Amino acid sequence: MTEPTLSAHEQPPVVTPDAPAWTWQTFTPARALPVLGGAAALGVLAHALVRGGGPLGVNFTLLVWAVLGTALLLTRRAPRSRAAVTLLGVAAAFAACVAWRDMLALTVLNVLATLLAGAVGLRYLRAPGQVWTMPPFAPLIAAALLWTHTLVQGAGLPARTNWRALAHPGRARAWGPLLRGALLALPLLLVFGALLGNADAAFGTLLGRLLRWNLGAFTRDALAWVVWVWALTGVLYVAALARTPTRPDPATMPIARLGATEVGIVLGSLAALFAAFMVVQGAYLFGGPAQVTALTGLTYAEYARRGFFELLTVTLLGVPLLLALRGALGADLRDHGWPRALTLLVTGLLAALLASAWTRMGLYVQVYGLSELRVLAGTAMVWVAALLGLLGWSVARARTETFTARAVLAGFVVLLGLNGLNPGLRIARDLGTRATILPAARAVQLTAQNLGADAAPYVLPNLMTLADGQSDVAAALRESVRGSAVKDWRSWNAARAHAGRLGAP
How much is the pLDDT for 395? 85
Q: Is residue 436 part of a domain?
A: yes
Q: What is the pLDDT of residues 262-315, one digit of tens each?
A: 888 888 899 999 898 888 777 665 555 566 666 666 666 666 666 777 888 888
Please tell me the predicted confidence (pLDDT) of residue 285: 59
303 vs 118, higher pLDDT: 118
Are residue 466 and residue 487 in the same domain, yes or no?
yes
Ranges 67-76, 252-261, 341-350, 366-375: which has the least confidence: 252-261
What span, in angstroms and rounded, lies between the C-alpha atoms of 432 and 445?
Answer: 9
Instruction: Give pLDDT, residue 413.
Output: 95
On the question of pLDDT at 198 being above 70, the answer is yes
Whether 355 maps to a domain, the answer reads yes
Mean pLDDT over 230-248 rounds to 81
Q: Do 153 and 89 fall into the same domain?
A: yes
Residues 405 and 320 in one domain: yes
Q: Answer yes or no: is 295 within a domain.
A: yes
CA 267 – CA 339 distance, rounded (Å): 8
Which residue, 390, 416, 442, sits at the end of a domain?
416
pLDDT value for 112: 94
Tell me: do 269 and 333 sit in the same domain. yes
* pLDDT mean over 210-217: 63
Cα 240 to Cα 426: distance, rounded to the nearest angstrom: 43
Greater model confidence, 218 or 384? 384
Beta strands in 138-217 (DSSP E): none
Length of the chain: 505
Residue 180 belongs to a domain: no
Give phi and psi for 161, each to the nearest 5. Answer: -95, 135
Of 368, 392, 416, the residue at which a domain comes to its end is 416
How far apart, in whole angstroms, are the C-alpha atoms of residue 137 and residue 123?
14
pLDDT for position 4: 44
Residues 406 and 444 reside in one and the same domain: no
Residue 360 lies in a domain: yes
Are 456 and 441 a contacting pair, CB within 8 Å? Answer: no
Last residue of a domain, one of 206, 240, 274: 240
- Domain of 305 in residue numbering reads as 260-416
> Which among 373, 484, 482, 372 is positioned nearest to 426, based on CA atoms?
372
In a domain, 19, yes or no: no
Of residues 85 and 431, more confidently modeled: 85
> What is the pLDDT at residue 500?
79
What pLDDT does residue 91 have?
A: 96
More confident of the two residues 133 and 250: 133
Over range 237-261, report the average pLDDT: 67
Q: Are residues 328 and 472 in the same domain?
A: no
381 lies in the same domain as 443: no
- pLDDT over 90 percentage in the chain: 21
**3-state SS, residue 161:** strand
* Residue type, position 130, single letter: Q
- Report pLDDT digits (tens) over 440-498: 666 667 766 778 888 888 887 777 776 666 666 667 777 767 665 567 788 888 988 88
Q: With CA atoms as reference, report the closest residue to 434 among 355, 505, 369.
A: 369
User: DSSP secondary-structure letter at 253?
Assistant: S
What pLDDT score was predicted for residue 164? 74
Work out how many domains the chain is built from and give that number: 3
Residue 257 CA to residue 250 CA, distance in Å, equals 11
Secondary structure of the chain: what % helix, strand, coil (to 5)?
A: 75, 0, 25
Helices 423-433 and 439-448, axial angle in degrees (round to 10): 160
pTM: 0.82
Round to the nearest angstrom and report the end-to-end CA distance of the chain.
71
pLDDT > 50? residue 9? no
Pair 378, 446 in one domain:
no
Shared domain check, 435 and 293: no
In 3-state terms, what secondary structure has residue 277?
helix
Task: Calculate what percentage of the chain has a pLDDT beyond 70.
Answer: 75
* Helix, strand or coil, per DSSP, at residue 271: helix
Other C-beta atoms within 10 Å of 435: how many?
A: 5
In terms of pLDDT, which residue wins out, 170 or 89? 89
For 18-59, the three-class secondary structure string (H helix, E strand, C coil) is CCCCCCCCCECHHHHHHHHHHHHHHHHHHHHHHCCCCCCCHH
Lowest mean pLDDT among 101-115, 158-172, 335-349, 377-391: 158-172
Residue 161 pairs with which residues in a beta bridge? 27
Specify the pLDDT at position 335.
61
Could you tell me if 299 and 372 lie in one domain? yes
Mean pLDDT, range 190-208, rounded to an integer: 77
Look over the chain and give the mean of its residue pLDDT values, rounded to a whole number: 78
Q: For residue 108, is pLDDT > 90?
A: yes
Indicate if 40 and 157 belong to the same structural domain. yes
Q: Is residue 3 part of a domain?
A: no
431 neighbors 445 (Cβ within 8 angstroms): yes
Residues 471, 324 within the same domain: no
Residue 409 in any domain: the answer is yes
pLDDT digits (tens, 9 = 90+) for 305-317: 667 778 888 888 8
pLDDT digits 0-9 by tens, 409-454:
999 999 999 999 999 889 888 877 775 665 666 666 776 677 888 8
Which long-range contacts (C-beta less than 8 Å, at least 24 apart) are formed by 325-330? Answer: 325/258, 325/263, 325/266, 325/267, 326/395, 326/400, 327/250, 327/255, 328/255, 328/256, 328/257, 328/258, 328/263, 329/257, 329/258, 329/260, 329/263, 330/257
Which range among 63-77, 156-170, 357-371 has the greatest average pLDDT?
A: 63-77
Q: What is the pLDDT of residue 332?
A: 58
